[in-house]
Structure 1
Amino acid sequence: MAVPDFQAFLLPLLRFASDGEVHSLQEAYSVLADHFKLSDADKTEMLPSGTQVIYKNRIAWARTYLVKALVLESPKRGLFRITERGRELLAGNPSTLLVKHLKAYPEFAAFHGHGNNTVDSAAATSLVDVDNEKSSSTPDEIFEMAYQELRAGLATDLLAQVSNNSPEFFERLVVKLLVKMGYGGSIRDAGQAIGRSGDEGIDGIIKEDKLGLDVIYIQAKRWQGSVGRPEIQKFVGALHGQRAKKGVFITTGSFTKDAQQYVATIDPKVVLIDGGRLVELMIDHNLGVSVAEVYEIKKIDTDFFLEG
């Protein structure tokens, strides 16, 4: 089954703690993974950032919410046990436990509203509003989803800008991107190489490393539609003519499935970079974009609190 939303972990986690013993998050990860019959794939699914496993992130946030509602207490970082309030809650034999139920506790309501009267309460609670489609997501997931949405919008706008410029601008863009990625030595070296060949489907040659121990042949085409296998075959033929081992075909358009299957089975090695991948690389390497805002996500520095 898919990983349940984080609210689904609230009641099973509280019931797991009902024995009154001190438990660790590591124990909870194992017990709740078994409870929900998570598959190996479920247990390795990561957040979009690739920094955390989703089910562990959701269990950790479920514990945080239960602690803030004072139905669990945390005697030490990463540990938890049930409180008298938690026992009273379970005594009512609830069939479900959601964020809206925890809001009945003033301590949790204050936490959920961030305890800041200067913050618009509607905006503060909307992040985990049970009527919102994202209500089942943890704050980490909500933040990452917002980031991914902003990035996707940026990528769309960026590709439109690239496509609306001249072929010459596109070639210069390719040079700058490859250099930022560590190829070609300097902008000057790369700039001299690109656009010089024009040799049967080869737009340029660029160093693979700063020493020039190997070279990469490039085809850079500003293309609106899909690039098919015939175009790639022309490029590969040109590579064979140069006895080249490596090539990169970059376009603002896309590649047909036939073209992608073709390059997967040939020698020399050819990498296809379509418009979507191109702008992702531009964003990753800060080309054509600038930083608008920086948000720092901080966590406890456990080393700071070690005594001895």
Structure 2
Amino acid sequence: MKMASDIPSVDEFRPLVLRALADGQERGRRELNEMVSTLAGLSQDQMQETLESGQLRYRNRIGWALSSFAKSGLVDRPKRGRYKITEYGKTVDRRSLREYSETDMLEWDTWREYKEEVAQRRQIKDGHSATESETEPAEDPVEAMRTHEKAFNASIETDLRKRLQSSSPEFFERAVIELLWALGYGGTHGAKQHVGRSHDGGIDGVIRQEALGLTNVYIQAKRYADNNKVGDPDIRTFIGSLDAQGANLGVFITTSSFQDKARRTAEGYRHGKIVLIDGIRLTELMLDYGVAVQKAHQFTLYEIDDDFFEDELL
């Protein structure tokens, strides 16, 4: 399957969008997507590639090309979801360009004025003059924010795993019980219990999934260093503890990782199911379910409400 780098960038899609509209006909987004993808020679794999949001990548980039053209006056939007090339757009199309960037579009007064206003607003909000790199967004600002969010949270997850490794065994046991509770293992009328190291018999916690305690999830938590992977003996000890309790559901959680043989042993448990959660997955889940972390920043992005302008467009 071809990677995202093989798909034309927004800059490369812009001339293709103009070519698709060059005959002066008004067209909708669906038809334009089909025409532009054909002009670009996209493969089936490329056309199926998605962003983190689930949107098809090529359609997203065509959308950003159309949006910038509408702002710069190279394309008109006669009504919602419909596009038609302008004389300015035809001028650019006749150049037969391979790509056309936001910087190139500064040749048009409408686009230049738009960018100047964006920079002015940034200056008012931030209290300093925005540089060109600051005012010119990534090809998709929303996806750029998602990428930066993932990078930031990845560092938080790493810090969290280190904190858990340096915590006391008892604290770690309570932390993983809280995580499984947050995951909904307790159901509506369940209960949670921290057994404690001195009496655990290989069990560190129990979550009772319903009021009568007929279905229990038994937990083993190992606060191991990175170079100390959970091995086959640890899993076999846990299995023995589960069998002693007459249990068939177990969750084994560690701050490190599992040896391959340990995973095979867990998968082969005949009397029930054992779920293995390593340090990477553990901290991912803790962020996803808000355990031991709190939201520090929130950003709001706005878009035009086309319904508000519906009457004006008729």
TM range (shorter): 0.7 to 0.9
Letter of the aligned partner of 1:125 in structure 2? S
The equivalent residue for 2:159 is 157
Counting matched residue pairs gives 300
What displacement does 1:233 show? 3.0
The equivalent residue for 1:99 is 102
CA separation of 1:85/1:306 partners in 2, compared to 1, >3 Å: closer, same or farther?
Answer: closer
What displacement does 1:81 show? 1.2
Cα pair 1:184 1:210 within 8 Å, conserved: no
Map of 1:42-53 to 2, 5 A cutoff? 42-48=46-52, 50-53=53-56
CA deviation string 1:2-48 (max 9, x = no partner): 33322221111111111211112112222333344444443333322
Matches of 1:303 and 1:212 in 2, distance apart? 53
Cα pair 1:171 1:195 within 8 Å, conserved: no
Residue of 33, 36, 50 corresponding to 1:29? 33
Relative to the length of structure 1, the TM-score reads 0.84
What displacement does 1:84 show? 0.4
User: 277-286 vs 1-10, which deviates more?
Assistant: 1-10
What displacement does 1:301 show? 4.0
CA deviation string 1:74-96 (max 9, x = no partner): 12232211110001111223232
What displacement does 1:165 show? 1.0
Q: Does residue 83 in structure 1 map to residue 86 in structure 2?
A: yes
Structure 1, unmatched stretches of 5+, are 130-134
The equivalent residue for 1:280 is 284
The equivalent residue for 1:146 is 148
Residue of 245, 249, 261 corresponding to 2:248? 245
Relative to the length of structure 2, the TM-score reads 0.83
Q: Does residue 229 in structure 1 map to residue 237 in structure 2?
A: no
Matches of 1:194 and 1:27 in 2, distance apart? 64
What displacement does 1:265 show? 4.7
Structure 2, unmatched stretches of 5+, are none
Matches of 2:154 and 2:189 in 1, distance apart? 29
User: 116-125 vs 289-298, which deviates more?
Assistant: 116-125
What displacement does 1:211 show? 6.4
Tell me the C-alpha RMSD between the 2 structures.
Answer: 3.0
What displacement does 1:269 show? 1.7
The equivalent residue for 2:186 is 184
Cα pair 2:16 2:40 within 8 Å, conserved: no
Matches of 2:277 and 2:298 in 1, distance apart? 29
The equivalent residue for 2:134 is 126
CA separation of 1:264/1:94 partners in 2, compared to 1, >3 Å: closer, same or farther?
Answer: same
CA separation of 1:58/1:158 partners in 2, compared to 1, >3 Å: closer, same or farther?
Answer: same
Cα pair 1:112 1:125 within 8 Å, conserved: no
Matches of 2:255 and 2:239 in 1, distance apart? 19
SS of corresponding position for 1:59? helix
Matches of 1:220 and 1:212 in 2, distance apart? 21
User: 53-62 vs 293-302, which deviates more?
Assistant: 293-302
Q: Does residue 14 in structure 1 map to residue 22 in structure 2?
A: no
Letter of the aligned partner of 2:107 in structure 1? A
CA separation of 1:12/1:64 partners in 2, compared to 1, >3 Å: closer, same or farther?
Answer: same
Cα pair 1:112 1:124 within 8 Å, conserved: no
